[in-house]
Structure 1
Amino acid sequence: MQVQSSFAKHQTGTLYLVPTPIGNLDDMTFRAVATLKDVDLIAAEDTRNTKKLLNHFEIETRQISFHEHNTQQRIPELIAKLQEGTNIAQCSDAGMPSISDPGKELVVAAIAADIPVVPLPGANAGITALIASGLAPQPFTFYGFLQRKKSLQEEELAALAHHQATLIFYEAPHRLGKTLQAMITAFGADRQAVLARELTKRYEEFARGTLEELTIQAQEPRGEYVILVAPGPAEEDAAVEAANELPLREEIDQLIAKGMKPNAAIKVVAKDRGLQRQDVYAEYHEFKEDDE
């Protein structure tokens, strides 16, 4: 198969973004194999890891390392090669380039230099976990890895507490327990969630339940994890829920203190709580009589 660029007018090379399997080598597509064979150079996150993949599919294309620690050094070099007409495939150790992996900066530089960028579809751990999670598949927000510093992670999670979409995170096994505890603090122990580990591999496993239940189950975590968290309540719903936790009399008195007339405050509270206005009126005045 000869790799053909859809950008016929360009005299430069083409940057191909090639996904690699997240575990099961059978998930490598025919097109991905053909592309890696036909390009002139492969920019790999870890050349040793990618070499195993290349050997499995009998691909002899030359590699060059491209990872988070040499991005600034490599980008000018790779752009120069592309401008000279070299076709380059960029791939990470597993999954899609740029998704919690190197790639974004190279894509931006290629676009700025008017170099064609061709993405290939392929394996992705977050989407793979989402469709089998049982949580709402859309809308969803892919977040990836959280900040490691505790204070920054707390800020991130607090900002997501009322997000109206299924949340997708990645986490390493040695940090899983602390991350779940931080999520309980931010989202509440009863928020529904799913843990997916070792996707596409022999010991693939899904655990479903509340964040508290999953924390208990994740005592000896092994393998790479995807954490999926159900959408949170809207902020206005959370405010109503918090208000409903107040004693009925106290909630009415708070509204009166803000300038609302007693009957109007009773009407608002009755509506928010789904109660009959007459019942709330009677209960409120019964409290008042007891106080007197």
Structure 2
Amino acid sequence: MRDGDSADVEPSGRLLLAATPLGDPRDASARLLTALASADVIAAEDTRRLRNLANALGVKISGRVVSHYDAVEAARAPVLVDAIRQGQTVLVVTDAGMPSVSDPGFRLVSACVAADLPVTCLPGPSAVTTALVLSGLPCERFCFEGFAPRRPGERRRWLAALATEPRTAVFFESPRRLATTLADAVEVLGEDRPAAVCRELTKTYEQVLRGSLAELAKWATDGEVRGEITVVVAGAEPSVAPLDALVARVRERVDGGERMKDAVSAVAAGSGVPKRELYAAAVSEESAESAEDGALSDD
């Protein structure tokens, strides 16, 4: 476990992860501009996009620029770790958004953590949270699922795992596969599940479509979809088991020697039925059975 670095001592070498604008360069933070101008090494997912961003921001890059995309990240990590050990600042940027979030960066962070080297982050734009708040769907709890699987079988199994997920789900998808993925989602999650398709976030042709999965699937099928796509799908509604079935389960546990209060708590968990309501129903049935037994004995 590494203690935080003293606020009075600047580490001689460190790894910086920096979020870059999704589209509009004006979303760049002041700290990103400083880092671009001063970093000893900039590891960029696409070096051409990096230089275009620097030009748009009016920043002159003084450090060494190296490519840092998925296929080379593992091989680059030891070299970049050595640079940090030697006292250099290594800045990692991707094409848009936050490094490591479905983009290169995770392997290098892991290597630096293992080597006990300083790692920090310059926060900023994220397609995940931007799409989430624009979707109009609940944001209190959500899960990020990365890119949807490409193969049909894997994609259906992946969607099936989301069928009972109560949290809002956010994932990325290629515009070429969006129609197929949404059609699969209709079959697996249901045509009425609320969702949103967010396209070209913060860019000139930003578009957010909200509706049911069936409506969005039809839109994606009817026209040509372009640009960067983020999909947001509402979580599953909690399923409510029939009250009489829950009461029967409570009775089984009570007959097995469990206290009524404990049995109700155990059965009510995850059922969608409040404990107070289930307890009242269980007590009512017990009272009715006792009354019936008393009437039979009188006969």
TM-score by length of 1: 0.77
The SS at the match of 2:104 is coil
Q: Is the 8 A contact 2:132 2:232 kept in 1?
A: yes
String of CA shifts for 1:252-279, please: whole Å, max 9, x gaps.
9xx9xxx9xxxxxxxxxxx99xxxxxxx
Following TM superposition, where does structure 1 have runs of at least 4 consecutive aligned residues deviating by more than 3 angstroms?
Answer: 5-12
For 1:29, the equivalent position in structure 2 comes to 29
Match of 1:125 in 2: 127
Could you report, residue by residue, the CA deviation over 1:118-158 in whole angstroms, capped at 9, with x for unpaired residues?
A: 11110011111111211001101111201111111111111
Distance 1:67 1:7 in 2: 33
Partner Cα separation in structure 2 for residue 140 and residue 191 of structure 1: 16
Unaligned runs of 5+ in 2: 253-276, 279-299
For 2:47, give the aligned amino acid: T
1:287 aligned residue: none
1:63-118 Cα deviation digits (max 9, x unpaired): 11111101221011000111011111001011100111000110010111111111
Residue in structure 2 matched with residue 197 of structure 1 by the alignment: 199
SS of corresponding position for 2:164: coil
Structure-2 residue corresponding to 1:60: 61
Q: Residues 186 and 7 of structure 1: is their aligned pair in 2 closer, same or farther, counting only changes over 3 Å?
A: farther
Task: Find the residue that maps to 1:122 and give its secondary structure.
Answer: coil
Listed as ranges, the gaps of 5+ residues in structure 1 are: 244-250, 260-270, 273-292
Does the CA contact (< 8 Å) of 1:96 and 1:122 recur in 2?
Answer: yes
Partner of 2:137: 135
CA distance in 2 between partners of 1:6 and 1:55 (Å)? 34
**For residues 231 and 52 of structure 1, what CA distance do their matches in structure 2 show?**
39
Q: Per-residue CA shift, 1:224-269, capped at 9, x if unaligned?
A: 11111011123x43xx4xx8xxxxxxx99xx9xxx9xxxxxxxxxx
* Paired position in structure 1 for 2:289: none
User: Cα gap change, 1:52/1:6 in structure 2, threshold over 3 Å: closer, same or farther?
Assistant: farther
Shift of residue 7, structure 1, vs aligned partner: 6.7
Offset at residue 17 of structure 1 (A): 0.4
Amino acid at match of 2:166: Q
- Give the TM-score of the pair, scaled to structure 2: 0.75
- Matched residue type, 2:106: K
Residue 161 of structure 2 is aligned to residue 159 of structure 1 = yes
- Cα displacement (A) at 1:217: 1.4
CA contact (8 A) 1:12 1:115 kept: no
Identity %: 40
1:228 to 1:160, Cα distance in 2 relative to 1, 3 A: same
Query: Residues 33 and 59 of structure 2 are in contact (CA less than 8 Å); yes or no, is this contact kept in structure 1?
Result: no
Q: 1:6 to 1:118 in 2, by over 3 A?
A: farther
Root mean square deviation of aligned Cα = 2.3
Alpha-carbon distance in structure 2 between the residues aligned to 1:224 and 1:11: 37
Which residue number corresponds to residue 84 of structure 2? Answer: 82
Partner SS state of residue 70, structure 1: helix
